[in-house]
């Protein structure tokens, strides 16, 4: 990631500059796409998996999943943080996955819309949808098992955001959530410095 991009991010100094593809927390894997640089995440649930976002490049993603011995056919659900192409471009890999989103439509995809605060029980996991508009009007975050927070691009402070003032309010909303142990982002890795990231 370039220093220029880093400077646009809330609490960027609390995130590593790059996370190569691999296991990052017990049961959680990051898949890194390049050109453009973007992360998506795979969460292990026994012999199955869920994806949080889907990256931008199917060719890269299938190779990296193979290196981790993860079959796209074993991904049973994909939770999309927003509908920008770099987060849904490789969604076609997950033919067996139910797709969950915020209030948005993805062309060619039969997605399930989750409401703000809605909680889904799936394979023994608890997944809560949190509406966080600002980067886009359809941006959401997902809180898994009360401690893993996947934020997509909600923390990016950039003039190309749909509404930066609304985005700031969304970050304040996230800061009020108790019990978060890790934050996982779309473009700059993950961190356990939760309070620092959400207070900047």
**Tens place of pLDDT for every residue, the chain, 200 residues?**
333 344 345 545 556 556 789 999 999 999 988 777 789 999 999 999 999 999 888 999 999 999 999 999 999 999 999 887 888 989 999 999 999 999 888 888 889 999 999 999 999 999 999 999 988 888 999 999 999 999 988 887 776 776 778 889 999 999 999 999 999 998 878 999 998 888 86
User: pTM of whole model > 0.85?
Assistant: yes
CA distances from 56 to 66, 123, 140, 159 (A): 17, 27, 18, 22
Alpha-carbon gap, residue 176 to 12, rounded angstroms: 19
In the chain the domains, ranked by start, together with CATH numbers, are 3-199 (3.60.15.10)
Q: Among 133, 131, 114, which Cα is nearest to 122's? A: 114
């Amino acid at each position: 990631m370039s220093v220029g991009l880093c400077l646009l991010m809330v609490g960027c100094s609390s995130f590593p500059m790059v996370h190569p593809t691999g296991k990052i927390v017990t049961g959680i894997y990051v898949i890194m796409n390049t050109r453009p640089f973007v992360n998506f995440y795979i969460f292990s649930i026994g012999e199955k998996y869920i994806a949080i976002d889907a990256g931008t490049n199917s060719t890269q993603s299938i190779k990296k999943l193979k290196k981790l011995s993860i079959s796209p056919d074993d991904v049973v659900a994909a939770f999309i943080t927003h509908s920008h192409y770099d987060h849904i471009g490789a969604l076609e890999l997950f033919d067996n996955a139910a797709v969950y989103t915020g209030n948005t439509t993805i062309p060619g995809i039969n997605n399930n819309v989750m409401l703000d605060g809605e909680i889904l029980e799936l394979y023994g996991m608890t997944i809560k949808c949190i509406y966080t508009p600002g980067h886009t009007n359809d941006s959401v975050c997902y809180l898994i098992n009360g401690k893993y927070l996947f934020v997509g691009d909600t923390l990016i402070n950039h003039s190309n955001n749909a509404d930066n003032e609304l985005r700031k309010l969304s970050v304040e909303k996230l800061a009020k959530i108790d019990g978060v142990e890790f934050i996982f982002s779309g473009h700059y890795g993950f961190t356990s410095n939760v309070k620092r990231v959400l207070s900047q």
